Amino acid sequence: MSRSYMYLLRGRTPSQMMSFVLQTENGQLFVIDGGVRGDAEALLALLRKLGGPHPVIEGWFLTHVHEDHIAALTSILESRLNELEIKRLYFHFPERPFIADNEAWEIHTWDEFYAALPNYQGIKTVYQQGDRYEYPEARFEVLYTYDGSYPMNAINNSSTVLRLTTGGRRVLLLGDLGIEGGRRLLAGQGAGGLRSDVVQLAHHGQNGVEKSVYEAAAPQACLWCTPLWLWENDPGQGYNSGPWKTFEVRRWIIDELKVPLNWVAKDGDGKLILSPEELIIKPYN
């Protein structure tokens, strides 16, 4: 029975973040995003636990150039690459002028990443929509990449959307994709083309893609990269007092689509077991 394990890491700082580790049955390791700088140590600790004192990462996949997704990797590239081996780094980011024109407050994230990258040019792949990356027990398909169409919600809408097939299951990774990107994704793939067993909720479970994307995916399980304050829509003034749309998305997924399995980062690190015979989410510690 082919079986893979996917780990959702909770944030180690108050920030929202996104960090996944995949281990296939043959022991190969993959990382999706990684979180903020303060999340790097926990990520490295998990990689060592799974892969030994000097883990080998077959592929590190980045969704978009926001600090809460890639800064942990940037810190590793800057000073800790001797602690592991990264065989291939995959990303597709807008050019610097696009960031400067649309979300100048994030330009430091772009600058820090690209400043750390020159020593690792040999391992990078800039992926394009339609690309497919095959490994013995995992396949990564690129369903959507940024083309500059959307200056609104600019960096979120530049998220690369990946579909991972492993352990006989499909996992849809939406990054922080917004409404406009979600509409284009659905139009390009068609409802049947998004069908997946597991979906990562876009933009930490609020103000991401529309309900129609989740309806098309029709998942059995959802992964929420959502800390407690965001899950409760509480900026410090009390339960459901904030501007975020988490409660709306919770209603879609839990009440209306009735997705039976949900793991939320507020509850700690989670372990997803993927096989043709079973789909299980449980705490990991």
Does residue 131 lie in a domain region? yes
Q: 240, 247 in Cβ contact below 8 A? A: yes
Q: How many CB atoms lie within 10 A of CB 285?
A: 6
Tally of structural domains, the chain: 1
pLDDT tens for each residue of the chain, 285 residues long: 589 999 999 999 999 999 999 999 999 999 999 999 999 999 999 999 999 999 999 999 999 999 999 999 999 999 898 999 999 999 999 999 999 999 999 999 999 999 998 878 889 999 999 999 999 999 999 999 988 877 889 999 999 999 999 999 999 999 999 999 999 999 999 999 999 999 999 999 999 999 999 999 999 999 999 999 999 999 999 999 999 999 999 999 999 999 999 999 999 999 999 999 999 999 998
Does residue 61 lie in a domain region? yes
Q: Is the pTM of this model over 0.95?
A: yes
Q: 263, 280 in Cβ contact below 8 A? A: no
| pLDDT value for 60 | 98
Tokens standing for residue 112: 């820090």
Residues 6+ positions from 52 with CB-CB distance below 8 Å: none
Does residue 72 lie in a domain region? yes
Write b or e for each residue in 208-235: b if 16 or more Cβ atoms lie within 10 A of its Cβ, otherwise e: bbbeebbebbebebbbbbbbebbbbbbe
Does residue 283 lie in a domain region? no
Condensed to tens digits (0 to 9), the pLDDT of residues 116-142 reads 988 788 899 999 999 999 999 999 999
Does residue 64 lie in a domain region? yes
| pLDDT value for 1 | 56
Q: Can you name the residues that pair with 280 across neighbouring β-strands?
A: 273
Calculated CA dihedral for residues 185, 263, 267, 63, nearest 10 degrees: -30
Does residue 285 lie in a domain region? no
91: containing domain: 4-277
Does residue 284 lie in a domain region? no
Does residue 110 lie in a domain region? yes
CATH code, 160: 3.60.15.10
